[in-house]
């Protein structure tokens, strides 16, 4: 039972009551708070980490490289103490303040899994890569059409207006390309391709009718609209220091955008240092009535109450909270009649990349530090299955000039070397995959029965691995990408499989999937738990399959859609 062996400090139900509680203040939680506050509801956002205030809490945002003790690297001691989190993309001395420390937040790796977390107000929205492509119907209906997965209860058309709603508010740059596998949206102007990227695009267009190398869509304000100025944000300056926190609010985070917006309504309360232990289910009322919180510092327990609860703790933490929310009615976790909670966890496959050199164009350079990359929309298994595996992959790419024209010099010392460093080197290019993985019942998370964290919450056990389908996709990506670069005249093409463990992709999904049938899914088409409808799960935990596009904008769109549905249901007295 929740609360066993805890000291409860309830302080009176009224004082701790809100219309809605949102668990987590990151990308999806910020959206739940914004939508619900905009409709006049009193909202409590519970966040386990510290508070982060826009600008004030970006300690490295304007630092020059020489102002860091190790020029951006962390100390050997830090690396020794944090072997896991220091593997994260973009981790360094300039960004470490937005990542957890390993020893504070243990978990159990039954199979290798690098769990990358940022516990603070804003969550991972402060450090995310900002890629924002829409899903197409190929992704929504692919698993059922080709028989490799469970069907979604929604299609692209259900979520398209919510994508627009989100894009307009957060600001997404890109071009309208008319590609069936990557639908267009409401875009601000894109960053430019550089000359080498344009050359590769041309070669792909000439050689492959079905492959489209275009601007990816990124949550950057290339040309702020009125709604962005109202948020206090301004134009992106192309500094590419985003993960430190951006003083201009040039990219979207919940700290720059949704949370301050919600706060302006006067309806928002954010409570940092609040580790959600579980959701409280009332057997008589047959619904959830609140949330049990352990104060991160004092370890005191307090209950908060609300009519509806949004679970946005990030995919695997949301699974943890739900699994830990046990009662007589739900002994195996809230809403878990199907026994599938924590199962069918999946992620994106980022293992493979290619790189190459490009000769020529030595009189050409680029302006600024472009924080975006072009994208090659998925070209596999769209209308029919055309490979020996299922699912598809997106390809990100880029081209840049090497630092220093030092190639061919015998010694890395002396006047000649020093002079060479003042000139840009030759052009290089790279491509890397973001592949769909197939959710399987055996890929799961569950609670430890004998190990707990410092807040008395069971540790999460990760049991997630790759399979043969992933290996085949990697092979195909490497062969095809190398062939495209070869056709573009690139030299010294290398193919690379980094064999990284799941998790480092930072796109973990599933465990509490959506579906029409309560026997085989946890959530209905509005992200409500089938068996406890005033609890809505709208982060990556809800994902029925992974698709091949960066997922966070879909979490935002689903959250906004679910919040507006919940408001309608509350008005009707159904929630």
Ligand X SMILES: Cc1cc2nc3c(=O)[nH]c(=O)nc-3n(C[C@H](O)[C@H](O)[C@H](O)COP(=O)(O)OP(=O)(O)OC[C@H]3O[C@@H](n4cnc5c(N)ncnc54)[C@H](O)[C@@H]3O)c2cc1C
Question: What, of ligand X, ligand SF4, none, does residue 324 touch, CB below 5 to 8 Å by kind?
Answer: none
User: What does the binding site for ligand SF4 look like in residue numbers (CB under 6 A)?
Assistant: 220, 236-242, 246, 248, 250-251, 371
Residue 373 or 508: the one with the smaller Cβ distance to ligand SF4 is 373
Residue 90 or 465: the one with the smaller Cβ distance to ligand X is 90
Question: Which neighbouring-strand residues pair with 173?
Answer: 188, 218
Query: Which x/- pattern, by CB under 6 A, does the window 2-41 give for ligand X?
Result: ---------------------xxxxxxx------------
Give the tokens for residue 446: 């569950």
- Chain-centroid distance of CA 216 in Å reads 16
Q: Determine, following the binding rule CB under 6 A, whether residue 322 of this chain makes contact with ligand X.
A: no
Question: What, of ligand SF4, ligand X, none, does residue 257 touch, CB below 5 to 8 Å by kind?
Answer: none
Question: Which neighbouring-strand residues pair with 396?
Answer: 375, 432
Q: Determine, following the binding rule CB under 6 A, whether residue 167 of this chain makes contact with ligand X.
A: no
Q: Determine, following the binding rule CB under 6 A, whether residue 458 of this chain makes contact with ligand X.
A: no
Q: Which of 131, 354, 488, 537 binds ligand X (CB under 6 A)?
A: 131
Answer whether 74's CB lies under 8 Å from 298's CB.
Answer: no
Name the residue with tokens 């070669």: 203
Q: Which of 6, 89, 238, 483 binds ligand X (CB under 6 A)?
A: 89
Query: 256-259: which pairs have CB atoms within 8 A and are 24 or more residues apart?
Result: 256/54, 256/231, 256/232, 257/30, 257/169, 257/170, 257/231, 257/233, 258/30, 258/31, 258/33, 258/34, 258/169, 259/25, 259/30, 259/33, 259/34, 259/45, 259/121, 259/122
In the complex, the smallest distance separating the C-beta of residue 238 from ligand X, rounded to whole angstroms, is 17
Question: What, of ligand SF4, ligand X, none, does residue 539 touch, CB below 5 to 8 Å by kind?
Answer: ligand X
Question: What, of ligand SF4, ligand X, none, does residue 227 touch, CB below 5 to 8 Å by kind?
Answer: none
Q: Determine, following the binding rule CB under 6 A, whether residue 312 of this chain makes contact with ligand X.
A: yes
In the complex, the smallest distance separating the C-beta of residue 249 from ligand SF4, rounded to whole angstroms, is 8
- Burial 434-469, CB ≥16 within 10 A → b, else e: bbbbbbbeebbbbbeeeeebeeebbbbbbbbbbeeb
In the complex, the smallest distance separating the C-beta of residue 311 from ligand X, rounded to whole angstroms, is 9
Question: What, of ligand X, ligand SF4, none, does residue 58 touch, CB below 5 to 8 Å by kind?
Answer: none
In the complex, the smallest distance separating the C-beta of residue 238 from ligand SF4, rounded to whole angstroms, is 5
Question: What, of ligand SF4, ligand X, none, does residue 236 touch, CB below 5 to 8 Å by kind?
Answer: ligand SF4
In the complex, the smallest distance separating the C-beta of residue 54 from ligand X, rounded to whole angstroms, is 15
Answer whether 362's CB lies under 8 Å from 340's CB.
Answer: no
Helix (H, G, I), strand (E, B) or coil at 103: helix
Residue 222 or 353: the one with the smaller Cβ distance to ligand SF4 is 222
In the complex, the smallest distance separating the C-beta of residue 362 from ligand X, rounded to whole angstroms, is 32
Question: What, of ligand X, ligand SF4, none, does residue 275 touch, CB below 5 to 8 Å by kind?
Answer: ligand X
Question: What, of ligand X, ligand SF4, none, does residue 512 touch, CB below 5 to 8 Å by kind?
Answer: none
Q: Determine, following the binding rule CB under 6 A, whether residue 273 of this chain makes contact with ligand X.
A: no
CB-based closest residue to ligand X: 26
Residue 351 or 401: the one with the smaller Cβ distance to ligand X is 351
Phi, psi (degrees; rounded to nearest 5) at 442: -70, -25
* Entry field: residues in the chain: 575
Q: Determine, following the binding rule CB under 6 A, whether residue 82 of this chain makes contact with ligand X.
A: no
In the complex, the smallest distance separating the C-beta of residue 120 from ligand X, rounded to whole angstroms, is 6
Report d(CA 476, CA 498) in Å as an integer: 15
Q: Which of 313, 323, 484, 566 binds ligand X (CB under 6 A)?
A: 313
Question: What, of ligand X, ligand SF4, none, does residue 317 touch, CB below 5 to 8 Å by kind?
Answer: ligand X
Residue 242 or 354: the one with the smaller Cβ distance to ligand X is 242
The H-or-E segment that residue 200 falls in is helix 195-207
Report d(CA 456, CA 459) in Å as an integer: 9
SS (H, E, C) 216-265: CCECECCCCCHHHHHCCCCCCCCCCCHHHCCCCCCECCCCCCHHHHHHHC
Q: Which of 130, 134, 165, 241 binds ligand X (CB under 6 A)?
A: 130
Question: Considering only residues 475-534, where is the footprint of ligand X by CB under 6 A?
Answer: 506-507
Give the tokens for residue 569: 């249901």
Report d(CA 406, CA 425) in Å as an integer: 7
Report d(CA 358, CA 397) in Å as an integer: 14
Question: What, of ligand X, ligand SF4, none, does residue 48 touch, CB below 5 to 8 Å by kind?
Answer: ligand X
Number of residues that bind ligand X (CB under 6 A): 42
Residue 143 or 371: the one with the smaller Cβ distance to ligand SF4 is 371
Query: Which is it for strands 268-271 and 509-511: parallel, antiparallel or unpaired?
Result: unpaired
In the complex, the smallest distance separating the C-beta of residue 486 from ligand X, rounded to whole angstroms, is 28
Angle made by CA atoms 495, 496, 500, in degrees to the nearest 5: 160
Answer whether 525's CB lies under 8 Å from 514's CB.
Answer: yes
Phi, psi (degrees; rounded to nearest 5) at 226: -50, -40
Q: Determine, following the binding rule CB under 6 A, whether residue 557 of this chain makes contact with ligand X.
A: no
Answer whether 426's CB lies under 8 Å from 357's CB.
Answer: yes
H helix intervals, 285-386: 315-323
Spell out the residues 6+ positions from residue 205 whose beta carbon is closer than 8 angstroms to its own: 211, 212, 213
Question: Considering only residues 172-201, where is the footprint of ligand X by CB under 6 A?
Answer: none
Residue 309 or 493: the one with the smaller Cβ distance to ligand X is 309
Residue 29 or 245: the one with the smaller Cβ distance to ligand X is 29
Residue 281 or 427: the one with the smaller Cβ distance to ligand X is 281
Closest CA to 440 of 505, 341, 540, 345: 345
Report d(CA 26, CA 257) in Å as an integer: 11
CB-based closest residue to ligand SF4: 250
Q: Determine, following the binding rule CB under 6 A, whether residue 116 of this chain makes contact with ligand X.
A: yes
The H-or-E segment that residue 293 falls in is strand 287-295
Residue 32 or 553: the one with the smaller Cβ distance to ligand SF4 is 553
Q: Determine, following the binding rule CB under 6 A, whether residue 373 of this chain makes contact with ligand X.
A: no
Contact positions vs ligand X (CB under 6 A): 23-29, 46-49, 88-90, 116, 118-120, 123-125, 127-131, 274-276, 312-314, 317, 321, 506-507, 539-540, 550-552, 555
């Amino acid at each position: 039972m929740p609360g066993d062996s805890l000291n409860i400090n309830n302080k009176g139900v009224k004082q701790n009551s809100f219309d809605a509680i949102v668990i987590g203040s990151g990308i999806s939680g910020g959206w739940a708070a914004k939508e619900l506050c905009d409709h006049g509801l009193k909202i409590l956002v519970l966040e386990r980490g510290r508070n982060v205030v826009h600008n004030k809490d970006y300690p490295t945002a304007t630092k020059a490289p020489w102002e860091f003790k190790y020029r951006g690297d962390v100390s050997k001691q830090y690396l020794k103490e944090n072997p896991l989190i220091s593997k994260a993309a973009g981790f360094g001395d300039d960004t470490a303040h937005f990542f957890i420390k390993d020893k504070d937040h243990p978990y159990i790796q039954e199979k290798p899994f690098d769990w990358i977390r940022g516990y603070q107000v804003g969550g991972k929205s402060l450090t995310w890569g900002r890629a924002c492509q829409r899903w197409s119907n190929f992704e929504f209906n692919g698993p059922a059409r080709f028989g490799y997965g469970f069907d979604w209860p929604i299609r692209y058309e259900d979520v398209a207006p919510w994508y627009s709603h989100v894009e307009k508010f957060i600001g997404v740059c890109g071009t309208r390309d008319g590609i069936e596998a990557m639908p267009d949206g409401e875009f601000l102007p894109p960053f430019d391709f550089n000359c080498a990227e344009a050359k590769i695009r041309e070669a792909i267009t000439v050689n492959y009718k079905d492959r489209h190398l275009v601007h990816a869509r990124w949550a950057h304000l290339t040309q702020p609209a009125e709604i962005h100025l109202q948020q206090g944000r301004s134009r992106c300056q192309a500094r590419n220091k985003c993960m430190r926190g951006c003083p201009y609010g040039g990219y979207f985070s919940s700290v720059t955008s949704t949370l301050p917006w919600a706060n302006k309504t006067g309806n928002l309360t954010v409570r940092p240092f609040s580790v959600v232990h579980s959701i409280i289910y009332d057997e008589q009322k047959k619904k959830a009535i609140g949330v049990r919180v352990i104060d991160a510092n004092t370890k005191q327990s307090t209950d908060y109450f609300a009519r509806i609860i949004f679970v946005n703790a990030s995919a695997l933490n949301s699974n943890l909270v739900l699994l830990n929310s046990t009662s007589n009615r739900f002994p195996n976790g809230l809403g878990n009649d199907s026994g599938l909670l924590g199962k069918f966890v999946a992620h994106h496959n980022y293992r493979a990349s290619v790189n190459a050199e490009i000769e020529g164009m030595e009189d050409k350079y680029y302006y600024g530090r472009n924080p975006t990359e072009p994208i090659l929309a998925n070209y596999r298994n769209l209308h029919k299955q055309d490979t020996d595996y299922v699912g598809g992959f997106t390809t990100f790419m880029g081209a840049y000039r090497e630092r220093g024209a030092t190639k061919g010099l015998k010694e890395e010392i002396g006047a000649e070397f020093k002079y060479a460093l003042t000139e840009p080197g030759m052009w290089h290019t790279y491509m890397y995959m973001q592949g769909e993985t197939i959710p399987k019942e055996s890929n799961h998370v569950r609670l430890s029965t004998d190990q707990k964290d410092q807040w008395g919450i069971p540790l999460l056990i990760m049991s997630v691995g790759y399979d043969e389908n992933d290996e085949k996709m990697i092979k195909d990506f490497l062969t095809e990408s190398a062939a495209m670069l070869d056709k573009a005249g690139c030299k010294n093409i290398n193919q690379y499989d980094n064999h990284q463990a799941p998790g480092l992709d930072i796109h973990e999904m599933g465990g509490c999937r959506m579906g029409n049938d309560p026997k085989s899914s946890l959530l209905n088409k509005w992200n409500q738990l089938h068996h406890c409808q005033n609890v809505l799960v709208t982060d990556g935990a809800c994902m029925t399959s992974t698709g091949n596009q960066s997922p966070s904008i879909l979490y935002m769109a689903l959250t906004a859609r679910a919040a507006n549905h919940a408001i309608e249901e509350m008005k009707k007295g159904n929630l």
